[in-house]
Structure 1
């Protein structure tokens, strides 16, 4: 048996890919959101496919749409993706001290697309990326002041993971790609 080594891309490499995708977002109120598959090749992360998801679709349908796009891609001769990313625009509420009840209300408002009515809302461009190992990255840019926030979560099932349907879907799709021969 011959030995071999498995190379796992560094967190910094993926953070850069996520930030690059966020930096490409230059126009607000975009009608289309890019869903990107990345491959890891010769020490580099590079986009393989870019599919656009219409902003008119209910975000709760994004996981089903992305699943269909991934299935189509995996049925081709393209290299198996190493990670997936989705860039969207959304409303968030920044809060450092929220009670469990307030957190539940915010999650409900997010799930029912009512955060746009919250008095503390902030519009952001948000990129979520997950690799086949379950590592999750996000980067967001506030529309009001341009401030950028970046985050890494090594465990997609972490308790402090934001309530984000798209994030969980991207992570699940990346894990599924890992199982693809």
Structure 2
């Protein structure tokens, strides 16, 4: 299975936004710069994450993105589904019905065995992604970091974090 580059970019961006305080945001341009990716491609995924309710936006020229949910409430599956969509990776087209000698109709009362096996694998894959939250990932990174990653992020955040005029939790509606 191959996921788009947008999934990796989205997960890293969500993880970075998880470190912000309540009155802080990061611009799409800053997130793209930090990760060395195309700003326009990342922006497309940030907007998708925002529409899905994972991210929030603070408008205006000094605005940016922040987590709209707790990192403990955002799973990898949430991010993958927001970026890739909810459809299963494997979609059976019943090609057994094609060709010069198609399988008789009686074989189509139950799903194709190949499709059934692929859907079982998809359920396992999704269950594993659902079990890993952004909080879990951050704890793993923190446990394995000798201080290098934290220092890199802190320097960047100090230079790029935007302070909003109010705490996001005080925003109307």
Do the structures match in fold with TM over 0.5? Answer: no
Q: Kindly name which structure, 1 or 2, has the bigger radius of gyration based on alpha carbons.
A: 2
Q: Which has the higher strand share?
A: 1
Query: Which one scores higher on RCO, CA 8 angstroms, separation ≥ 6?
Result: 2
Q: Which has the higher helix share?
A: 2
TM-score, scaled relative to structure 1: 0.23
TM-score, scaled relative to structure 2: 0.24
